[in-house]
């Protein structure tokens, strides 16, 4: 299983993932932190994305993902990371740590972490 950050998920939906990212995601079950859904909604609200959350295509895609809820353990871990970022990115990274799921991200701040499991 792989945990996708928001940017990676948006790239995947837009068809702009790298060949390496596609090959990784094709081989594994995919997961997201539930805060990614909130970020998608906010990006749509401000006009940076155009997602129809009610469309059959989007709902079908979403059913293929494991959506991991924010737990007390994830919240606690997000406050003890070895990097600082926006709260959503910290929750996403903490989700990977707590759930022992490698994170797929392009975020340089997160990639410097020694705590977050990554897929290479």
For 2-111, CATH number?
Answer: 3.40.50.1010
State the sign of the Cα–Cα–Cα–Cα dihedral 6, 108, 26, 101. Answer: negative
pLDDT exceeds cutoff 90 at 32: yes
pLDDT digits over 48-74, tens only?
999 999 999 999 999 999 999 999 999
pLDDT digits over 2-18, tens only?
999 999 999 998 899 99
State the sign of the Cα–Cα–Cα–Cα dihedral 93, 24, 48, 38. Answer: negative
pLDDT digits over 96-120, tens only?
999 999 999 999 999 999 999 998 7
What residue segments make up the domains of the chain, in order of their start? 2-111
In the chain, the percentage of residues whose pLDDT exceeds 90 is 95
In the chain, the percentage of residues whose pLDDT exceeds 70 is 99
Contact call for residues 91 and 74 (beta carbons, < 8 A):
yes
Cα gap 116→26, rounded to integer Å: 22
Round the average pLDDT of the chain to a whole number and report it.
Answer: 95
What is the C-alpha R_g of the chain? 14
Q: Is this model's pTM higher than 0.95 or not? A: no
């Amino acid at each position: 299983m792989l945990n996708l950050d928001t940017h990676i998920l948006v790239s995947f939906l837009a068809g702009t993932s790298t060949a390496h990212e596609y090959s990784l995601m094709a081989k594994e079950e995919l997961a997201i932190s539930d805060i990614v859904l909130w970020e998608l909604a906010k990006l749509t609200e401000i006009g940076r994305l155009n997602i129809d959350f009610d469309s059959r295509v989007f709902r079908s895609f979403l059913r293929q993902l494991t959506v991991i809820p924010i737990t007390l353990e994830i919240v606690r871990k997000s406050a003890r990371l070895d990097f600082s970022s926006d709260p959503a990115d910290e929750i996403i990274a903490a989700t990977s740590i707590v759930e022992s799921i490698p994170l797929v991200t392009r975020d340089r701040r997160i990639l410097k972490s020694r705590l977050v499991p990554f897929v290479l």
